[in-house]
Structure 1
């Protein structure tokens, strides 16, 4: 009974992020006009929400408090998050719940495949929490989700946004051999800020994961993204671009970090739309096939349209 009362009196932030409760609160800065979006609530948004609820799906749109949820759900686009809603990492920027997850659901891959088929999606993005508690980091489970989508929705193109599978030997190969159309893994920030922003990860391991994809299957598109506004310098962002290109990354996304709660990492500043345009020009000059750089850019935003443009850009460059 004592535990129940304690749970009921705790705030939602405490329930989602117990590891952050001893951190000092930081001020949440007022958003500039270019970051304001309409509150969700259209008829199609509500219809998508009902589909998500009725099928018991978890979406990163909700779990990560994405600012684009109104736009995407109104267009019947949703990024599915597998392997539960609880992450074993405690990144300072992320709004996904942290803690000890439940066991993997062996029926989940078939359920996701069926849901994608019933939704009639042309392109689907599948992401997941980190599962450091599982021997292979959940790679085999993730790969089975891809296989089930191929089986039940063969015309749907698949983009995966994976964990880093740190210290999980052989996991990367399992994911690459699942042969998604786009293999996405986000570097998130510049190397100098990893200990503060992404303490459970290692920058060069994440970079190496992206490089492995191209080495094992050169035809797979690779994609990675970072957030800005965390205290990085322009020169550091440009160095990350060079690192990505050295690893063969095709598509870079750059978006503004938005602070989920006062307990999360503080925003250093709001990067202006003009600065994002400059980043886009620099990235294109460095040879990326695709660049998405804007305050509201997120990894999965407009993913289907971007995939079509990505294929067209490769065709124009290589003829295949």
Structure 2
């Protein structure tokens, strides 16, 4: 079994947090009824930077997940009923902040027959209707692969639909109740059903013990199902209770992964230690609009 590394984080992973910028955004979210963001729930290291620029990835369908993945800080438990008022709350936040690019995601909601697809549809449609210049990216769970749920999110009008494979197949034990094959099938169906009107996106974490060979195979698998947008970032354990970091991948390896991905055929890649699936999302959205 691979051992956890014991040395301190390298300089390139010592990102400075500025708590006062977080307080400002958190107060705004409270003003519209206590919306959640994945930035807060997942303890994202980019939170100060994004909140300072008034960028946030809204977490709909509550903040309790029905799965217990060993790398994720989102609370696991029994979710509450779907809150239809969050549709208006998200749109109000978008309008108040004057956002031009919005990312919407959710925890896994295996307790719902459609996995929460209808709420994704309604939130996205409401934003587009009331703020027509705003582009929306949605980052979805796998909906257990249900085609009707995928059709519903495709109909939402989102410019990009993301679904993260997260890691290489040999490490999929960290994704409870998820499979690599299902995630690829979700991305494949999104392209087959959505055609040219939908751009798909995925993300990978590194530092969990994967090899470059395994990463390149995932790149090829993603391209084979029509996914052309990719994010690659360093896994950082939220605390000692989560999956252990095996390696702090050096910045030059991220550059290598980025070049390999572009050479294979991806249209836009963000690979860096602090890259996350929703980080700098407007770059992907701009690219999607240009295609």
- TM-score, normalised to structure 2, is 0.94
Q: Write out the 4+ residue segments of structure 1 that deviate beyond 6 Å after TM superposition.
A: none
CA distance in 2, matches of 1:167, 1:213: 11
| Corresponding position of 1:153 | 131
Q: 1:239 pairs with 208, 214, 217, which one?
A: 217
Q: 1:280 pairs with 251, 255, 258, which one?
A: 258
CA distance in 1, matches of 2:6, 2:105: 28
CA distance in 2, matches of 1:108, 1:275: 41
In the alignment, structure 1 residue 212 sits paired with structure 2 residue 194: no
Cα shift at 1:212: 1.1
Cα shift at 1:63: 0.2
In the alignment, structure 1 residue 73 sits paired with structure 2 residue 51: yes
CA distance in 1, matches of 2:225, 2:6: 35
In the alignment, structure 1 residue 53 sits paired with structure 2 residue 30: yes
CA distance in 1, matches of 2:48, 2:86: 26
| CA RMSD between the two structures | 1.5
CA distance in 2, matches of 1:281, 1:88: 36
SS of 1:264's partner is coil
Cα shift at 1:305: 2.9
Q: 2:73 pairs with 95, 101, 106, which one?
A: 95
CA distance in 2, matches of 1:103, 1:29: 44
Q: 1:268 pairs with 237, 246, 255, which one?
A: 246
Counting matched residue pairs gives 286
Structure number, greater radius of gyration: 1
- TM-score, normalised to structure 1, is 0.86
SS of 2:215's partner is helix
Question: Do the aligned partners of 2:114 and 2:146 also contact (CA within 8 Å) in 1?
Answer: yes
Superposition pairs for residues 24-35 of structure 1, below 5 Å? 30-35=8-13
Q: Please list the CA deviations of residues 49-82 of structure 1 after superposition, one character each: whole Å capped at 9, or x if unmatched.
A: 2212222110000000000001111111011000
Structure 1: runs of 5 or more not aligned: 1-25, 315-320
Question: Do the aligned partners of 2:145 and 2:182 also contact (CA within 8 Å) in 1?
Answer: no
Q: Please list the CA deviations of residues 171-210 of structure 1 after superposition, one character each: whole Å capped at 9, or x if unmatched.
A: 111111212101011000011111x210210111111111
Structure 2: runs of 5 or more not aligned: none
Cα shift at 1:309: 3.5
